[in-house]
Structure 1
Amino acid sequence: MWPFRKTETRIATSDPFLGEFLGARWQASADIEKASGHAVAHRCISVIAENLASVPLKVYKRTEDGGREAATEHPLYGVLHDETAPGLTAFEAREWLLASALTQGNAYARIDRNGRGQVTALHPLVAGTVTVEVLKSGRLRYKHALPDGGTETLLQDEVLHIRYRTKDGILGMSPIQIAAAAFGLALAQQDQAGAAAENAFRPAGALVFPDKIGGAGKESVTAKFKERFVGALKANEVMILDGGAKFETFSFNSKDSEFLDSRKLSNLDICRVFGVPPSVAGITDDATYSNIGEESRALVMRCLAPWAKRVEMAMNIALLSPEARKTLFIEHDLNALTRGDLSTRYAAYRMAREGGWLSANDIRGYENMSRIEGGDEYIQPLNMGLLGANDNRSKLDDAA
C-alpha cells in the first residue's frame, strides 16, 4: 500500500456556481442554461416575461382629488414606455430583465440620469457579469465586467436591481436552483429520451453465443455491433448473425417503466415552480374550454401580478427619489389581461354606465376609441338617490 497520503484541503461554501466551477458534486443541482432550455421551462419563462413586458408600464402623478394621471412629461415615462436605451425598445429591455430574474434570480440595469437627477435611460446588464459587494455603510456596490476585460464600478444609486426570493436582501436566488431536484429529474428524463431517439427507439438487448468467448473477443464483437447497428440512421440495417449467435431483446420499454407518465409529472412540476397554469404552458391533457379561460385569469392573478409588484417596487425605489415618490409612482396596467371577451366587457360597461360611475368617454377610452361630445356626463337611475332627499314627511308635518 502506498505509504504517503495526500493532504486534502476543503473549502466550505454554499454558492452553487462556485461549487460547479470547482467540480463539486451537488446532491441536487441543475445547469441554469440547460434547464431554461427545457421546453416547458422555456415556455413558462417566455409567458411571464412576454406578457408582463407587453402591458403598459407608466409613471403616474397623483392628483389633488385623489386620482391619477399619466406623467407623460417626465423623462422616465418614455424610458419605460417607448425606448429604454438607444436602439433598445422598452419591450425588449423589460423582457430581458424579467427573463434574467426568472432564470438567474437577479436582473441588473445601469441607470443614466440628467442634471436634475431624472432617469433618462436604462442599460440592462448580463447577470453573470455583475458582482455585488456590501460596504461598511450597509450600501451596495456593483462591479460590472466589461467585454474588453475591464471592470466598471457602480454605486447603489446607479443600478436597478430586481431580485427573486432573497435570503440576505442582497442577492436573489434562482428559481431553477431552488427547485434543482425537479429540474434535474426533468433534464435526466430529457437526456434519456434523446438517447432512445438516437438509437431509433430500438430496445436494448444481448448477443447470446453458444460457446464462451474471450474478453478481447467480447469487446471486439460489441464495438463492431455498435458501429454497424446502433444509431438512428442505421435503423433499417440488415442484421446477420452466424456461429449460433442470437440477439435477444430486453422486455423493458418506456411504457413498462411508466417513463412517459413520469415525464408528464416532471413537466407539471416545472409549471408549479414558475406558477404558470399547465394549459398556458402548452400542456392541454386535462384542458377544457371553460378551465382554459379560468387558468388564463389565474395566470394574471397568481403569477403576473406578484411579478408586476416585484418590478414596480424595485423601480420606485431605484428610479424615483424619496421626494419624487410623494407625487409620482410606477405601476403596470394589467387591465388588458383581465378584460375578458367582448360580451363580458360590454355587460360590465353597461352596469358601470347605468350605475353612474363610468361615462361614455371613460368606456370609449378603455376600448381605444376617440372621445365624443357630451360623453363626459355621468347618469344616475331615477329610482336611486340620497337617503331622505325625496322624503316629504317633514313638509307634511310643517303644513299640519
Structure 2
Amino acid sequence: MMNLFSFGAKPKRNRYDIALPPEPAPGVNNAAYGGPYTPTEFSDWMRGINAAAGVSVNDTSAMSISAVYACVALIGGTVASIPLQIYERQNGARVPVDHDYWWLFNEQPNPDYSASVLWESAVANLLLNGDGIMAIRRPKYGMAINGIEWFNRRGVTPYKSTKGLGLQYRCTHLDGAIEDFGYEDILHMAGPGFNGLHGMSQIRHVLRHSAGIALAADTFSAKYFENGARPDYALVHPGSVTPEQKNQILDYWEERHKGVNNAHRPAFLSGGADVKELSMNAEDAQLIATRQFQIEDIARGFGVPPHMIGHTQAATSWGTGIEQLSLGFLKFTMLRHLKKIEREINRKIWPNRVKYFAEFNTAALERGDYKTRMEGYRVALGRAGEPAFMRVSEIRKFENLPPDAELDHLAMTITQGASNASVTDQTASA
C-alpha cells in the first residue's frame, strides 16, 4: 500500500500559475469564531443576519437551537456512518475492491482527524452555509491521492480563472496562510441555488426567519423563568414615593422573588401596595405552540421527519408508520446528499476512468426488522420450489457472518429437490 500521508514538499501557493484575483482583505483569524474571515464576513458573523423576530442569526447562533443542531447532527452523522465502498466494473458487473483510497474516505483522510469528523464537518457546512469544501492532497509529482482536508466554507473564495482553467478556489488556513487549488483538487458539494460559484446559504435564506423566531422564543422563555416564571406586573403604591424608595422596593422584590429557586415564595405588601398584572401568561401567549411549530418548520427546511429529532407530537412514535417515515428520510433526504457526494468524488478522483467508482452502501439503513429480513431471505433462497437468486453465504455476509460452503451445498440440494418434486406433481396432474 502506498504511503498515504507522505505529502512530500509543501505545495506551492499557486501551483497552476494562473492570474489570481486581487488579494482579499486580511482575514480575522480566530478559530474560536469558526474563522478565518475577511472583515466583511467577520462583521456579518458578529452581527448575524437580522430576522423578522428582531434577533441576529448566524451559523453559531443557529446551532444553539436544539432543532437545528439535531438536524445537522442527524444528517452529518448518518453520512459519516455509511461506508463508502469502491467498486470495479468487470464485464458489466460491479465488484467491490480493496482500494487504497478506501482508507482515506472511511477511516483517516489525514493525520489530524478521522473520516467521521471530515464528513460531519463538510456536511454541516453544506447544510448551514450552502457548500461543503474538501481539498484533495496529492504528492508533488503525480495525480495519486495521499490525503483529504476539510476547509471551513467561510475561509474559501471560489472564482473563475482568467485563463480558461475553470473554477478555482482560494482557501485560507487557520494560521492565515492562503493556498490556491484548481477545480480538480477540490471536492465541492454545493447546495440548492448554486450560482456557478457557490450554493445558497441556508442561514441567510431558509433558516433566517424560522431560526430567528426559535431564538427569540428561547430567549423569551429563558427570561420568563429568570424572572420567576411570573407574568409581567407592576407594583402599585397609593402614595408618592421618592426615587430612592422606589429603587429600594424594586431591589427588595427582585431579591426575594427573582429566579426559579424563589418561585412561589409568598409576598408581603404593606402601606396599601398592590400588584397589577400587565400581560398574559406564557400559555395564553401561545409560547409553547410557537416553539413546537418552529421545531416542525426547521425540520421541514432540512428535510428531516420531526420524529427523528424527538418531536413525536404530530405523529405516531411506533410501528410501520415510523418505519415508512424513516425510509422516506433515507430516500428523499439522504440520497440527494449521498449522490451529490458520490458524483463529485467520481468525477474528481477518477476523471478519465470508468473502471472504478465509489458509492455509499446504504444497505444497513434499509434493513428491515428480523422477521422481514428472514422472509426476504427465504424468497432469495428459492421458497416453495421457486428459483433461487442468492446463496446462503451471500445472505450470511449481509448478517455479518462468515461464509459456509456446506450450507450453500445443502440449500442448493433442498431447492433442487423441491423444484423436482414440483415438476413431478405438475406432470402427474396433467
TM over 0.5: yes
Distance 1:383 1:45 in 2: 55
Which digits, 9 at most, give the CA deviation of each residue in 1:138-187, with x for residues without a partner?
Answer: 62222222233332222222222111113313111233332211111111
Change in 2 beyond 3 A, CA 1:220/1:255: same
Partner SS for 2:146? strand
Structure 2 counterparts to residues 1-400 of structure 1, below 5 A: 20=44, 26=50, 28=52, 30-64=57-91, 66-72=92-98, 74-114=99-139, 115-136=141-162, 137=164, 139-179=166-206, 180-213=208-241, 222=250, 225-226=253-254, 229-235=257-263, 239-250=267-278, 252-285=280-313, 286-290=315-319, 291-321=321-351, 323-324=352-353, 326-354=354-382, 355-373=387-405, 375=408, 382=419
How far apart, in 2, do the equivalents of 1:191 and 1:21 lie?
A: 19
Letter in 1 for 2:124: A
SS of 1:207's equivalent in the other structure is strand
Label 1:24 to 1:32 Cα distance change in 2 as closer, same or farther (>3 A). Answer: closer
Q: 1: CA distance between counterparts of 2:291 and 2:151?
A: 35
Once the two structures are overlaid, the 10-residue window that deviates more, 279-288 or 132-141, is 132-141
Letter in 1 for 2:404: I
Q: Is contact 1:207–1:246 with CA below 8 Å preserved after alignment?
A: yes
8 Å CA contact retained: 1:36, 1:103: no
Deviation for aligned residue 1:216: 7.6
| Cα shift at 1:280 | 0.7
The one-letter code sitting in structure 2 at the alignment partner of 1:371 is P
CA–CA distance in 1 between the matches of 2:240 and 2:94? 88
State the Cα distance separating 1:231 from its structure 2 match.
3.3
> Is residue 67–residue 309 contact of structure 2 (8 Å, CA) maintained in 1?
yes
Percent of paired sites with the same residue? 26
Deviation, 1:272, is: 0.5
Contact map agreement 1:105 1:172 (CA 8 A) in 2: yes
Instruction: Verify the 8 A CA contact 1:280 1:295 in the aligned structure 2.
Output: no
Shift of 1:259: 1.5
Cα contact 2:130–2:190 (8 A) shared by 1: yes
Q: CA RMSD in A?
A: 2.9
What is the CA-CA distance between 1:55 and the residue it aligns to? 1.1
Q: How many residues align?
A: 367
What residue identity is the alignment partner of 1:335? A
Q: Distance in 1 between matches of 2:168 and 2:261?
A: 55
Given that residues 75 and 118 in structure 1 are in contact (C-alpha distance below 8 angstroms), is that contact kept between their aligned partners in structure 2? no
Aligned counterparts of 2:182 and 2:256: Cα–Cα separation in 1? 62
SS of the counterpart of 2:306? coil
Letter matched to residue 311 of structure 1: I
Cα separation, 1, equivalents of 2:272 and 2:156: 65
Is 26-35 or 85-94 further displaced after alignment? Answer: 26-35
Q: Which stretch of structure 1 is more off in the superposition, 282-291 or 211-220?
A: 211-220
Query: What is the SS of the residue equivalent to 1:88?
Result: coil
d(CA) in 1 for partners of 2:149, 2:419: 57
Q: 1:335 to 1:228 in 2, by over 3 A?
A: same
**Unaligned 5+ runs, structure 1:** 1-15, 391-400
User: Is this contact kept in 1: 2:49–2:57, CA < 8 A?
Assistant: no
* Alpha-carbon distance in 2 for matches of 1:32, 1:369: 44
SS at match of 1:133: strand
Classify 1:21/1:116 alpha carbon distance in 2 versus 1 (closer, same or farther; 3 Å).
closer
Query: Structure 2 unaligned runs (5+)?
Result: 1-39
Q: In the TM superposition, what is the alpha-carbon distance from 1:315 to its structure 2 partner?
A: 1.4
In the alignment, the residues of structure 1 paired with residue 364 and residue 421 of structure 2 have an alpha-carbon distance, to the nearest angstrom, of 32
Q: Which moved more, 1:242-251 or 1:254-263?
A: 242-251
Cα distance, 1:331 vs structure 2: 0.7
CA displacement 1:3-59 (0-9 Å, x = unmatched): xxxxxxxxxxxxx95883696974556222111221111111111111121111122
1:21 and 1:278 mapped to 2: Cα distance? 29
Structure-1 separation of matches of 2:420 and 2:65:
60
